[in-house]
Amino acid sequence: MLVLVAPGQGAQTPGFLTPWLDLPGVEARLRAWSEVIGLDLVHYGTNADADEIRDTAVAQPLLVAAGLVSAVALGDIAPGAVAGHSVGEITAAAVAGVLSEDEALALVRKRGLAMAEAAAITATGMSALLGGDPDVSVAHLEKLGLTPANINGAGQIVAAGTLEQLAALAEDKPEGVRKVIALKVAGAFHTHHMGPAVDALAEAAKELSPADPKLTYVSNKDGRTVASGGEVVDRLVGQVANPVRWDLCMETFQELGVTALLELCPGGTLTGLAKRALPGVRTLALKTPDDLDAARELIAEHS
């Protein structure tokens, strides 16, 4: 059984969309979406530098656009389940047929802008913890006033909070944690600091006409499968200020009988987690169109 997944913020790198523009129709599709959302996706995916695409308001629509471009390039496929990490959930919702491509891009543009505005209120950030016992780490983070914003499984938790709280974490790591790595993000995503963005996204969601998913959709909120389009959208709204439970998503993949995991462009992060947490499961990350033939072979073997 094949699971199709979409990465979240931080997976983008300068120029990562450049090779995809060589595929027929991709540039036209990106320019059409750019008109819809008022953001030049072609420029940011090809010529912009790392600082430009780190901007939350840019990174989020860029990632969803890249995921959808690579999904279209795969052709008409029917994975056993779909899921996305954080903003990748919007990509997954479009792949599952809950949202149209235009709706997904319009929603993620508003999400990125709202989260950027919320992040500007207080100086906040995120740091990844590598290793250690999850229960011990979570208790330690709560003692420091931090939120375990991403519980990713495979020995990785991402903490979020104020810069002062993160500095305290760097000086006082939880027992067993090998390393604390400051992430290059603009704020404490998936925490109470994003409360204003939830309100803005709830307003934006009123303009959507969600359909029930045509594929099994696995939610970041609790790893559960969701069969209602309306509930998918409600979860997309609330998830902005609540932790990502990718560990529970991977547990659900196992329960569903996953044998292969394919990560949409810009792939790498989620396949890395799967290699550690899902032993025996075949993984493949779509990075460039050169990976498409191998991806189609994987699909043929495991769909």
Of the residues 34, 70, 86, 127, only one is catalytic, namely 86
Which of these, 69, 75, 76, lies nearest to 23 by C-alpha position?
A: 69
Question: Do 128 and 200 sit in the same domain of this protein?
Answer: no
Do residues 226 and 166 both lie within one domain? no
Give yes or no: 190 in active site: yes
Phi-psi group of 223: left, alpha or beta (phi > 0 → left; psi -120 to 50 → alpha; rest → beta): left
Q: Are residues 37 and 132 in the same domain?
A: no
Catalytic residue among 70, 137, 140, 190: 190
**Number of folded domains that form the chain:** 2
Of 141, 153, 115, which Cα lies nearest the Cα of 241?
Answer: 115
pLDDT digits (tens, 9 = 90+) for 34-70: 999 999 999 999 999 999 999 999 999 999 999 999 9
Residue in the structure block whose two tokens are 């439970």: 245
Beta bridge partners of 182: 127
Let me know whether 102 and 246 are in one domain. Answer: yes
DSSP state of 96: T
Domain with residue 155: its CATH number is: 3.30.70.250
The three-state secondary structure class of 94 is helix
229 and 291 within one domain: yes
* Predicted pLDDT at 186: 82
Over the chain, what is the mean pLDDT? 96
Chain segment 107-121, per-residue pLDDT in tens: 999 999 999 999 999
Taking residues 174-182, report their average pLDDT.
93
State how far the Cα of 33 lies from the Cα of 287, in Å rounded to an integer.
Answer: 21
Query: What is the extent of the structural domain holding 155?
Result: 124-182
Q: Is 43 a catalytic residue?
A: no
Task: Give the CATH number, domain containing residue 242.
Answer: 3.40.366.10
197 and 263 inside one domain: yes
230 and 110 together in one domain: yes
Question: pTM score > 0.75 for this model?
Answer: yes
Residues 220 and 113 in one domain: yes
Do residue 128 and residue 108 come from a single domain? no
Q: Based on the domain organization, do 131 and 116 belong to the same domain?
A: no
Stated length of the chain: 303
**Residue 155 pLDDT more than 90?**
no
